[in-house]
Amino acid sequence: MFIDFAATEFDAGTQFWSAITGYALSDSRGEHAEFATLVPSSGDAYLRVQRLGEGFTRLHLDVHVDDPRASAGQAVGLGAEIVDGSQPGHVVLHSPAGVVFCLVAALTGTVPPAASWPGGQHSRLDQLCLDVPQDDYAAEVEFWQALLGGQWKMRRTDPLATRMAEGGALELRLQPSMLAPEPNGHLHLATDDRVAEVERLVALGARKRVDRGSWTLLEAVGGLAICVVDDPDGGDCTH
């Protein structure tokens, strides 16, 4: 998972996400020192940050595959569009609805445990949620199901589609949006004490926007939305 920050939001944004996850910020890398990794104390890294040369703050997903170019051909056959195929180690694409994602060389690892906080609660970022315009939604779900495979949870009572993590760090959820003119995404932070966790994020600079029965939506530093959701295991904190 990459958080791509507008240049003016990069410093404050990376500090915020490092603080809410408890992950250390690595040294910068890249031609313009535009990349860094959020490194957990145990397990393997699954969150990275990028300072954009232009554009607004957003999220993009890295899909790890054995052969990025071969997988890019498959993705194009399913309706994706290649944005940049010039790099040897990865290919940048748009999904049919316009979601930015990269195909990168395969990497497997150990999922980090949830972090423990002074208030006694635990939490971990465990889901990317994509809000897809209603008109594009059915085709977008079909695309990601065909590209990623794996186990998907489909609800009879609503149109949500969720690819289960299956030992990976992040679930991928798609949900239709009646208002958004283009797709956007936000991250879910699972916790075993939502009240305490929301208080912690607000103290770090987030702004609470909506409070519901099992989730609270906040605006993170840097402008992204983040959803704090109830999870009795605090995002698998017991493992």
pLDDT in tens, 159-191: 899 999 988 899 999 999 988 789 999 999 999
Residue carrying structure tokens 């085709």: 139
Please tell me the predicted confidence (pLDDT) of residue 236: 42
Per-residue pLDDT reduced to its tens digit, 212-234: 889 999 999 988 999 999 986 65
Please tell me the predicted confidence (pLDDT) of residue 233: 61
> Domains of the chain (ranges plus CATH)?
2-105 (3.10.180.10), 115-230 (3.10.180.10)
Q: Are 157 and 113 in contact, with CB atoms under 8 Å apart?
A: no
Per-residue pLDDT reduced to its tens digit, 108-122: 789 999 999 999 999
Please tell me the predicted confidence (pLDDT) of residue 235: 52
Calculated CA dihedral for residues 24, 34, 71, 151, nearest 10 degrees: 30
Residue carrying structure tokens 């305490």: 196
Q: Are 231 and 192 in contact, with CB atoms under 8 Å apart?
A: yes
For residue 15, give both structure tokens: 């500090």
Please tell me the predicted confidence (pLDDT) of residue 155: 79
Helices (H) and strands (E) in the chain, counts: 4, 17
Please tell me the predicted confidence (pLDDT) of residue 237: 38
Is residue 239 predicted with pLDDT exceeding 50?
no
pTM: 0.92
SS3 71: helix
